[in-house]
Structure 1
Amino acid sequence: MKIASTYVCAFLVVLFHAVGLWGFLHPEYVILFKRLVPFHLLLMLGLMIISHHDRNKYFWTFLLAAYTAGFVIELLGVNTGAIFGNYTYGTTLGPKFADIPLLIGVNWILVIYSTGVFMKEFKIKNHIIRALVGALLITTLDVLIEPVAIKFDYWSWENFEVPFQNYVGWFIFSYIMLRFFFLMKFHKTNFAAVILFVVQFIFFFLLNIKTV
């Protein structure tokens, strides 16, 4: 039953990203699919929770900490410009508190969790090296995300340029959160999360090619 639910969740991850890709590639449906982005993030979070089969207190602690840290780092980032550079959020990510989308923490959970699970597959015993490689992968993903995010009003940058500082900020924060992820004592094997990690790269890569 557990294996079956994991594969179902993995299938749904692929399906909803494929549908989302189709929607964003057709201009007449872009407005509708932008409105669906918050629901997509919540769905992905739900699928990751369902497909995770060791939901102990450390797992829930990670989720809460990752959400909180993700929201706070964005709050500081937007209000100071000292972490990622000068940027503001658009409307695509949904309702905001203090000009920060409430779901930005969910986005950070998904990125950190899926990358952490993906890195566990490589059996790298040194947590520092594992976190460094994972942070590099996340930063690479952000390189793909940025043009798409700007085009579809996820967020926008001062002078319409993404500063190198942003990627440094992503790398450092991702490294810290991955270190925390690996230190938490819960089961870290989840096929659906590995699929999510891969699909995110494919999704944003194809959107870069087709729309940016």
Structure 2
Amino acid sequence: MTDTTQQLPTAPLVSAEAHRRRLRWAQGVLLLFHVTGFLGLGFSDDPSFYLQFVPLNLLLTLGLLLAFQPRRTPAFWSFCIVTMVAGFFVEVVGVRTGLLFGHYTYGETLGIKWLNTPLMIGVNWLILTYSAGILTRYLPLPGFLRAVVGAVLLVGLDVALEPVAVRYDFWSWQYDVIPLLNFKGWFLVSLILQVYFNRVEFIKRNPLVPFVYLLQLLFFFGLGMKL
């Protein structure tokens, strides 16, 4: 007797499960790096050992975010390049003039510098701009309001980041005072980059982004509480 029972397709189910496993793996790797960094910076006798891995952590975070970006089109790559270059040169102008964020200088933690500015700062601006932009896609808002919310998310992260950055030689401020201009400048630059993010056409969905933003926020807030 012929079996006429139809077999349901399993490929999409297998693919979805594989995607979930990849996501859990990526989250686990990032959690391991951040927990190790938190314990090393907050509780060890030699935080400098852990600080040398900050550039690696930034590159790892960016690499994993890119891995979960659907359909990495030429428009997406152009967004990445423009954001990194713009973020880097905004900081160059900021360091040289003090007009954008106040007077500050970069330390050694973020690695190799050009024009007195770490190359990794462009990577950092890309991670933050991309993450905030993706997060705002969950909100039923028009484009410009999304950009405003994205800029607020970035300023909120900077508030948590600043005390830690100063303590661990990411950068230092004139007279050891974080100026209000810094947060105003962050908001303005972030807003411009968020508007740009909204205008570029690519798929704006990434399941790893909420985890990355929350992890970084908790990491810097937790270390800040230890200072």
TM-score (norm 2): 0.89
Q: Would the aligned equivalents of 1:58 and 1:185 in 2 still touch at CA under 8 Å?
A: yes
1:185 to 184, 195, 201: 201
2:78 to 50, 61, 67: 61
Counterpart in the other structure of 1:12: 29
Counterpart in the other structure of 2:99: 82
Amino acid at match of 1:194: P
Equivalent residue of 1:104, what SS?
A: helix
The two structures, once aligned, show a CA RMSD in angstroms of 1.2
> Could you tell me how far apart the structure 1 residues matched to 2:45 and 2:135 are?
35
Q: Would the aligned equivalents of 1:14 and 1:195 in 2 still touch at CA under 8 Å?
A: no
Q: Would the aligned equivalents of 1:88 and 1:157 in 2 still touch at CA under 8 Å?
A: yes
Counterpart in the other structure of 1:163: 179
> Could you tell me how far apart the structure 2 residues matched to 1:140 and 1:111 are?
11
Counterpart in the other structure of 2:150: 134
Consecutive aligned runs of 4 or more in structure 1 exceeding 6 Å deviation? none
Q: Would the aligned equivalents of 1:75 and 1:98 in 2 still touch at CA under 8 Å?
A: yes
Amino acid at match of 1:186: F
- Sequence identity (%): 38
Evaluate the alpha carbon distance shift between residue 70 and residue 97 of structure 1 in structure 2; reply closer, same or farther with a 3 A threshold: same
> Could you tell me how far apart the structure 2 residues matched to 1:206 and 1:32 are?
19
> Could you tell me how far apart the structure 2 residues matched to 1:84 and 1:43 are?
27
Higher relative contact order (CA 8 A, sep 6+): 1
After TM superposition, the structure 1 stretch with the greater mean CA deviation from structure 2, 177-186 or 8-17, is 8-17
Counterpart in the other structure of 1:40: 57
- Provide structure 1 residue ranges, at least 5 long, that are not aligned to the other structure: none
- Provide structure 2 residue ranges, at least 5 long, that are not aligned to the other structure: 1-17
Give the deviation of 1:27 after TM superposition.
3.2
Listed as ranges, the matches of 1:99-110 within 5 Å are: 99-110=116-127
Amino acid at match of 1:107: N
1:120 to 121, 137, 140: 137
Larger Rg: 2
- The number of residue pairs the alignment matches comes to 210
Matched, 1:149 2:165: yes
Equivalent residue of 2:105, what SS?
A: strand
